[in-house]
Structure formats: C-alpha cells, structure tokens
Chains A and B, each alone.
Chain A
C-alpha cells in the first residue's frame, strides 16, 4: 500500500482526471449543441396517445423523465415516469407542450395520416385533414385526396406570399420613404425660413406618391383575396375542427408516412429555410437570415476599419518608433487593452459615438428630422466601430509578431540595394508579414462574431424591420439598427414569451454561431502554422 502512494502514480492520474474532465466537457458541450441543434430539423414521428380517461393526445414526444413525489421523495422502488409531448395547436390548446404521466397511457400509435403543418401564425398544427374548400364549396375531402392538393398548393401560396411581402416591404416601403423624405425636406425649408413655392412643390410630390400608394394598396387587396381564397379544415386528434386559410401554411408533411430519404430531403429543405428565411412569431420560428446578414455586414465594416488602422499602429510601433521604455509601456498597454471587458468599450461607444459624434452629425446634417435621432442612436456603424476598437489590439499584436519575424538580413539587404525605408517596408516586410496580418484579422473577426455585450447597447435589436442594405439610395444604411446571431440567442432564449418552444431554435442558432467562430479560429491556426513552417524553411 505504501508503495502504491510512493511512486506518485495516483497523483499523476488525478491530474489526468482534471485534464480528461475538461476534454470531456468540451466534447460534451459540442455534442449537446450539435445534437439539439441539428436534430431540430429532422421530421420526428407523430405519436397518438390514448389516455385512460378516453381522451386522445397527439404530438411529437420530446422527453421522458422520472417523477419526483409531491414531498420531493423519489420513490426508488417503483419509479414513475412521465412523457413530454409537443402538442402544438396553440390556437386550440393555448400551450405547446404537455406532460403526461406514463401510467395514464393506454396505447401509443403512429397514425399514417397525421399531418404536421408549420404555419405563419400560432406555431405548428398536428392533426388530420378534413377538407379543403374554395369560396365555401368543398374542393376535396379526406386525408388522401386532399394531401396531393395541399402539396400542390403550398408552393403557389408561397409565391403569392412572396409577392405580397415584396409589395408591402419593397414598393409600399419605398413610397413611404419618399413621402417621409419630402416631409423632411419641407421641414428643412421651414427651418431655413420657409420658401412657400418650394413647399408647394414638395406637397404636390407627396400627393403624387400617395396616389401611387393607393394603387399599390388595391393590388395588395387583390392578392390578399387570392391568398385567403382556399381554406383548409383540419381535425385535431380530440375531434375539434379548425379552419384556416391555406396560405397560412408554410410547410406540411406526414412524418409517419415518409421514407428515410424523403425525411432527409425535408431536413435539408428546413435547414435551408432556417438560413434563408426571415423570423416569424417573435423570432421563435422561421429563419435567421437577417441575423446572419447583420452579423456578416457588421464584421465586414469592422474589418475595413480595423485592418488599416491596426496595421498602421503596428508598423509604427515596430518599424518607425524609437524603441525604448515609452514604446514598451505603450506595447504593454495595447496588450492589456485586449483584456479590458468588452462592455467597457460599449459604454465608451454609447458616450462617445452615439451621444457625442452621432448627436453632432444629427444636428449638422439631419436637423430636420430631430428630435428623432438618425445617427444619435445605436446603429450598425457604431456597433462596428465599437468592435473595431475592441479588436484593434488583436490586430496590432498579431501584426507586430509577424513584423518581428521578418529577419533583419532581408531588410538590410533591401536597404543596401538602395531601397528607401518605405520601399523596404511596403515591398519586402509587409508581404512577408501578410499571413500574420491575416491571422490577426481572422482572430479579430472571430472575437467580433462572438461578442454580444457591447452590441446590446450600441445598436442591435431583436427585430430590425429593414436590412442595412437595400435598393434605395444610398443603398447602404449605416445608421440602421440590425440583428445579430449572438443577440438572437440571448433574446429568444431569455426575452421571448414562449421559451420552451423557442429552445430548439436557440440551440440551432448557437450551433451556427459556434460553427462560424470555430471555422474562423481553425483558419487562423492553420495560417499561423503555415507561417511558422515558411519561416523555418526560409531560415535554412
């Protein structure tokens, strides 16, 4: 026994536990998010459960757990279990989920004709098709007959819906913007002293736009009529009828009747929908396209700002500045800034960018729309600049490392051949340090993508009505608020009214975010390794 302790092996193994535990945690976390995030789109079977009291429940089984007794004592001898069912039909039942004690269950079946419908409102519907009517007359009846009709119609209605959205958001949005523009111009003229003829002109233009608006509205009315022309009558499992417009259905499928291949197809379809669609139902359903777009655009603007300035600062520090105590102190400070909490940068941005610069821009250029702030409130420009400040130390440090790695001989050779310092730096040193600069940029992007706290206070919103880029002059709207993947996670997971139903959505968004961040980091690691190899070979 003494020997057992003496050779130190138990301690070595105990340190091993710590290491393996952290590895397990990482693996577990990634697995958890993958499983929950990817599994969400797989069409799970729909189960019909008959209860002892004779009623029937239908939905997707989501989890099963042991019941703890009322006093909290878990009865170990005869454990009781209960099952959680996603029953959907929020418009009928009010709740999406239901717990059922297992001892209440008489039988479980998977009915072939059970239909799952994703709707534009009220979440999923689980049930059977009764009939489809058009203007009150029955078109088809029964599960089999109506299914083919339904499958045919859904894409047609999707097209109509797209058209409606295009008119509502594009055309009418554009007209509104024009009217607003003229109104602001009138205010601007009034502020300057009020040239009545000019005001008249603008008012005429507004009237013109309003006529256009009326025409579009009529067009919309026609479309809406078409959109709600056909109605589908569904039967829930407990026999209740629910009539809804066919246009309201986004997607319908019969998971119990689908082959593996069909399910895979549907899976891909839903994944694509998640990435490319707009959110529905307070972000808890639909896609995350605006969030992806906002994240990418913010990171792009940030890169455009951070790269030149970071490289400039690094060049100055390692090439131009006189090396000494001062530069060393500055270097330590810059290094430490990377460790300053991101929220501090956010606070700075609120005070300096939004209330400082933004408010002055407003009073100089957008005085006519005051007191409504244009740049004097959070927006994508300010958020990007905040992140640029936050990540500039990363770029500086990485670039300096790269510059330091360029050997002195190369510089001296270039200078000896008569090149000026600038030519040496521009044509010899920077190209050699390019991979390092790139690594710095990628690391900066990876950090910026995952950052949420400073964005929350500088311009991210839960639902942005418009993307920061559109077809209206000046095309890129830097003052607009935007959506962001990281904030989407926080908002849907913690601020939405129906957290339980939104959870899978959050997992999927988290997965997407993690994938982006990890891919970026891996890219940085690969480039760094290449860089190291390059220098080890060039030194020979």
Chain B
C-alpha cells in the first residue's frame, strides 16, 4: 500500500466519519424538532381537554358504596331485644345517627338505652342509659334539623331532648373519637302517651317548644318561654295550648316544627297539611289546611324541613315525595300560600322517613318497600336509588357531612352507605334552565354565587351570564359594523392607494390599544359624560347625515379646477371639521331637545314613559368602548376582502355606465360579502371574549333584559371576578371552568367558521 492510498483512505475515513456525525446531528435535530413541535402543539390543544376534564364532575352522578351492614341483635349488648315484624309498635329501635367521620353510630332503644357502635363491624363501643327516662318508655321520637338534636316522647307525656357529642383527639395522625351523651331537662307536655312529637329549641329567643299528638287524640302545643327581663326573678313560663279543635276530626300522622319556632305543620291521615303560625307562643294562629295529596284517602306519612327551614318536604302513603314552600299570593290573608314547587319521582310504597342534609338542599326518603332515594330539592332530581334487604326502612339518618346514609330495616339490620356526591346541585337544567329557588315567585334564571349565611343556596344559572355576553357583543357590533364596513368601503373603493397605505396602519394601531385602557376611559371618563348628553348621542347621527349632505351640495359648486387638485378620496378630509361642527351642534342642541322632547329630564321621561332605569355604566357605554376595540378588526379584514376583488370587475362595471357608488355596492360588496361576513364573525369573537371592558364599563349585575341603559354581567368578567374566591374543586370553581369552556367553544367555533369562509373566498377570487 502506498502512502498516497493510505492517506486517501484516511481522508475518506475522516470524511465519512464527518458525514456520519452530520447525519447523526441531522437525525437528532429532526427528532428534537418533531417531538418538540408536536409537544408544543399538543399542549396548546390540551388546554381545551384540561378545562373540559375539570367540568366533568359537575355532571357525574352520585357514587355510593355499602361500606358495611350488620344485624344489630347479633351484638351481645343488644341481643335481648326481640323484633316482631308483624307489629310496628313493638319495634325496639327508635332512633339512629352517626358522627361526621362516619366511624361511630348509635341506636336508641325503646327502654331508653343509647348504644354507640362501631360502624365498621357493629361492635358496641359504649352504652348510656338515658337516666331521665328511668320509669317510662319511649313512644315517639323526633330528629331536629341538622340531625343534631334528638327528642323522645314518653308514655307519661314528657319529652326529653338528647344530644350526642364527639370528642376528637389526635395522637400524631391517629384519630380517636370519644362519644358523649348530653341529656336535656324533661319537658312536660300532656297527661297521656305521646304518639307523635316535634320539639325545637330556639337559641335566639330562649324558647323551647313542642307539638305533640297523644294517643287520646289531642294535638297540643307547649312552649317554655324565658322571662323577658334579665333579673331572673321569674320562672320560665310554660304555655300550653290545645289545637285539637282546628283539626276538625282529622287524624294526625306527622308533625313538623321549624327551628325558629314560627311555623307548625301537621300532616293528617286524610292527606291534609294544617299550618299554624306559632310566632306568638300564647296564641298560635291557625292559618289554613291544604290538600297535599292527590286523593283524601292518601295519608301524609312524613314531613321534614329542608336546610334553612323554609321548604317543607312531604311524603305520603302513595310514595309521592314533594317540596313545598310559601309563595306570595294576594288571595291569602298572610300574603303567602304554601305551594307545591317540585314533585319528585315517587317511591313505590308509603314513605316512612324523610331526612334533610345539613349541608345542601339534598334529602333522603325511604319507603316501606326498603327503597331509599336521594334527591336534590331545588333541581328536583333523583340522585341515587338504594335498597335494603328488609321489606321496610324503619329508621334513616343522613351523615353530618352528607357523605353517608345510615338505615335500619324492619329486621333490625343496619346499613351504612358511603356517598360521593360533590356537586348535587348541578345538572344541565340548573345550569342553563329556569329554576324555582326557595323564596322566589316563579322559576327564574339566576346567578348568585355567594350569600351572607351558611344556609344560602348558590344559584348558578349560566344563562344570564351568556345573555350578558351576547348583549354586550351585539351592542358593540351595532356600533362597530356600520362604521367599520362603510369605512372599509370608503378606503378600498374611493381612495387613492397612497392614502390607503397611511390610513390602514393608523386603524391597525387602534387594535393594539390595551383593553384595560379602553375600559378605564369608558367607565371613568365616557360614562359620566354620556350621562349628561344622552339626547345629543341620539341626534348626532341625524345631524351628521344632514351636514354631510349639505357639504356634498356645496362641493358640487366647487369649480372643477380646484376639485382636480385633490387626490381621489382626499377631499373626504373636509369632513373632519364638518364632523366636529356637527358634534358641537348636537351638544348645543342637547339642552333644548331634552326640554322639548323629554320634559327637561330624560331620565325621568325614560322611567315614566318607557319604564327604563338609567344606570351610569350601561350597555351603551360598553357598546361604544367594545365597538372601538372591534372596529379595527372588522375594518382591516373587510378592507382586505374588498380591495382584493379583481380590478377587472370594477372596470367592467364602470365601463357599463354604473357610477362609483353603484359599482361599490352592487358589484364589489356582494363579491366580497363572505369576507365581510368573516370579518364580522371575528369581531364578534373578540367582543365575546373581551373581559376588561365589560368588567369596567358595566355594573356587572346579572340581569336579563335588552335595555340599552342598564348593565349586564358577562361570562368573562364573571370568571375574572369570582375565580379568585372560588375554592379549588368546589362547585363554583367547576361552574366557572364550564363558563370558560363555553367561551372557548363560542369563540373557537366562530373563528373556525370565519376562517373557512375566508378560505373559500380566496379560492373564489382565484377563479374570477
């Protein structure tokens, strides 16, 4: 081998290794760019997916799982109780309940023994005899709202309120719960066994009261009122009132008393609800009796209050469940009448129990066939159906955090269900439809996400917000479309290209103005000015038209020699002083017009004649400000469409004798109309998504009407205002994500349509 060939070989080796290296680099680069590029694009598109996923739980149903079930009698401490399924009256378990961690539950037996048991396996933890009830037996029980207080009626006419308390200690991460029982003082009601009772204590007024139906057929209302002076010299007053007379022979089947001790409802075996106003404890006032079931033979078997004690839940013998509350009615003496608001999907057999949730507007109802239904009152939906083995559900309790249900069937078997129900109040109907909320006269679209009290129910209808968004966008377009499209026609058809090249960038700069600046000007500067000159605002278009026509008339008499010196289109700049003068004239006319047309005060006139309220920050202001933001967008795109119409069409039209205006409006405009359509669509998209302007230039009140002179609340502004306050993962948080998703779809859809239309137009121009 010669030196030369060896060198050559080395060189080729080096070269090939160089090539190999370069190829490797190229290969790596291709990989990096491809993966990187795809990753970027996917992650942008993943935004939609992520927002969508966050909203999914809103529409997911309730998940339930039977965590445990056991037969109570199998526990050695409870084995002495006999269960006779044929006789209702002998059923030993009179009440049940559980604590908020769902570890410990309890049952109370007829002989006054309270047994705490582990919900895991039914093992007895502790037993407390209710010492106050030593010589009597329990004949009836009542669970007060929020499942916090239990009261028991006895065979000798007493009521005993009982509370359970749970001491929770943490040792490291381990939780130990120690149950306690607090017995209240005995409360004498009547000298007969109490078959049905209701008992409440009002903290605010220091009053406790009971209503009871005795085995002798008497309905009594008893109240223990603390003396009004604070010296403590007087004993509390015990007031006793018989209400049997007003029942008119009806047999009572269930009683419910509200926590403020103002309303007493009594359900009867002939399907009536008797209503007393008991706010005056000495003289309960009978209001009325209402037929609450379909036929007089159907008894009312269960009454309960929903959280907040304003809505009454009614269950009857036929298995119907309904929600009632008082709605204002002029024919009633109190101005209100109890009305059935929601009829829920029925159970099969007579309702045995209704228990409301202590957290939301949910409640559970059970029937004699062993069915348990979980409902949401406001939305009227059936969330979940559960079933026990035994034929009838005897006792029912809702976990304090509404995350579980405890039930005892008539064979003495206890069931503990776990519920996963994070968003019971939302479905498509409550989010977009009319909902009859508690205290409202009729079903309405309402957005009201926060309220003052714990019992406040969030009202999350997105309809008024979507309405607001559309209202703002439409008023903005009303203002922007004529100005921008006429402007675009003017620039593209009647002006010299050199003028066009200076005017277009100026208007494009307008698009770059931050919307926060526009919003600030609209809200703080424009709104107070417009408020003073409303009549002028409406005269400006008329005055400007007249002035322009007048100017055109004068222009006709200008000698041709002078006219010729103007570049085509530049004579239109004469209009600038004309517009300024026109606006000044309108301002000057403002006072006289207001005096002449509106009797000196347009606000009063609007209110009395048109029934319109004038808000300073209103849709008109938003229309101007957002119109200002949208004008450059519509202008630029439609100008592009108009000026790229092939020139031979203009030439042909003009050659056939049409004048400039006819050419523009009958030849150019129809050809370019798809482009203008897409311009308007893109403008609409921008107006829908605009946040700062609507936030700053309206009052942000979620009302639904088309009036130009009041504000609205838009989806976008609503998100900006409320998401910082919305707890992560809560219903409001997810509803706001849904609002964002709506905005995303709105704008994405609109922009895609616009893009497709524009694409077609480009093709069409190519063929012309």
Residues on A lying within 8 angstroms of B by beta carbon are 4, 6-26, 29, 32-33, 68, 71-74, 76, 309-310, 312-317, 319-321, 330, 332-337, 339-348, 350-352, 355, 389, 392-393, 420-423, 425-426, 446, 449-453, 456-457, 486-487, 489-490, 493-494, 499, 503, 506, 510, 513-514, 517-518, 521-522, 525
For B29, list chain A residues within 8 Å (CB). Answer: 421-422, 425-426
A341 touches B716 (CB 8 A): yes
Chain B proximity of A22: nearest CB distance (Å): 6
Q: In the assembly, what is the distance between CA of A320 and CA of B41, in Å?
A: 14
Chain B proximity of A307: nearest CB distance (Å): 12
Stretch of B152-160, B182-190, B570-578 with 4 or more beta carbons under 8 angstroms from chain A: B570-578
Chain B stretch 575-630: residues in CB contact (< 8 A) with chain A? 575-576, 579-580, 591-592, 594-595, 600-601, 603-604, 628
For B38, list chain A residues within 8 Å (CB). Answer: 316
Q: Which residue of A lies closest to B524 (CB)?
A: A493
Chain B proximity of A422: nearest CB distance (Å): 4
Chain A proximity of B38: nearest CB distance (Å): 7
Q: Which of A339, A342, A420, A426 contacts B685 (CB 8 A)?
A: A339
Q: Which of B32, B525, B740 contacts A343 (CB 8 A)?
A: B740
Q: Which of B37, B723, B748 contacts A312 (CB 8 A)?
A: B37
Q: Which of B520, B591, B744 contacts A510 (CB 8 A)?
A: B520
A450 touches B513 (CB 8 A): yes
> Which of A7, A319, A340 has the most chain B CB within a 10 Å cutoff?
A340
Q: Is B517 an interface residue (CB 8 A)?
A: yes
For B755, list chain A residues within 8 Å (CB). Answer: 332, 335-336
Q: Report if A8-B573 is in contact (Cβ < 8 Å); known contacts: A332-B752, A490-B696.
A: no
> Which of A71, A345, A350, A506 has the most chain B CB within a 10 Å cutoff?
A350
The 5 closest A-B CB pairs, nearest first, are A316-B37, A341-B689, A8-B661, A450-B514, A72-B601
Q: In the assembly, what is the distance between CA of A208 and CA of B575, in Å?
A: 77
- 21 A-B pairs (CB sep. < 8 Å): A10-B549, A12-B660, A15-B489, A18-B484, A18-B486, A18-B487, A21-B487, A25-B628, A26-B510, A317-B37, A317-B41, A336-B747, A340-B748, A341-B744, A343-B743, A346-B720, A348-B50, A420-B22, A450-B513, A489-B517, A493-B523
Q: Is B728 an interface residue (CB 8 A)?
A: yes
Q: Which of B548, B579, B695 contacts A10 (CB 8 A)?
A: B548
Q: Which residue of A lies closest to B631 (CB)?
A: A22
Q: Report if A13-B548 is in contact (Cβ < 8 Å); known contacts: A19-B491, A332-B752, A347-B740.
A: yes
B575 touches A340 (CB 8 A): no
B689 touches A343 (CB 8 A): yes
Q: In the assembly, what is the distance between CA of A335 and CA of B756, in Å?
A: 12
For A453, list chain B residues within 8 Å (CB). Answer: 691-692, 695, 716, 720
Q: Is B290 an interface residue (CB 8 A)?
A: no
B591 touches A76 (CB 8 A): yes
Q: Is B652 an interface residue (CB 8 A)?
A: no
For B660, list chain A residues within 8 Å (CB). Answer: 8, 12
> Which of B34, B51, B513, B600 has the most chain A CB within a 10 Å cutoff?
B513
For B744, list chain A residues within 8 Å (CB). Answer: 340-341, 344
For A24, list chain B residues within 8 Å (CB). Answer: 576, 579-580
Q: Which of B25, B33, B525, B736 contacts A32 (CB 8 A)?
A: B525
Q: Is B711 an interface residue (CB 8 A)?
A: no
A389 touches B44 (CB 8 A): yes
Stretch of B225-233, B362-370, B500-508 with 4 or more beta carbons under 8 angstroms from chain A: B500-508
Chain A proximity of B133: nearest CB distance (Å): 46
For B555, list chain A residues within 8 Å (CB). Answer: 9, 13
Q: Which of B36, B484, B523, B724 contacts A309 (CB 8 A)?
A: B36
Q: Which residue of B lies closest to A421 (CB)?
A: B26
Chain B stretch 250-290: residues in CB contact (< 8 A) with chain A? none
Chain B proximity of A496: nearest CB distance (Å): 11
For A330, list chain B residues within 8 Å (CB). Answer: 41
Q: Report if A341-B661 is in contact (Cβ < 8 Å); known contacts: A450-B513, A456-B720, A490-B520.
A: no
Q: Report if A312-B40 is in contact (Cβ < 8 Å); known contacts: A13-B552, A486-B516, A490-B692.
A: yes
Q: Which residue of B lies closest to A511 (CB)?
A: B517
Q: Report if A13-B572 is in contact (Cβ < 8 Å); known contacts: A19-B491, A21-B579, A344-B743.
A: yes
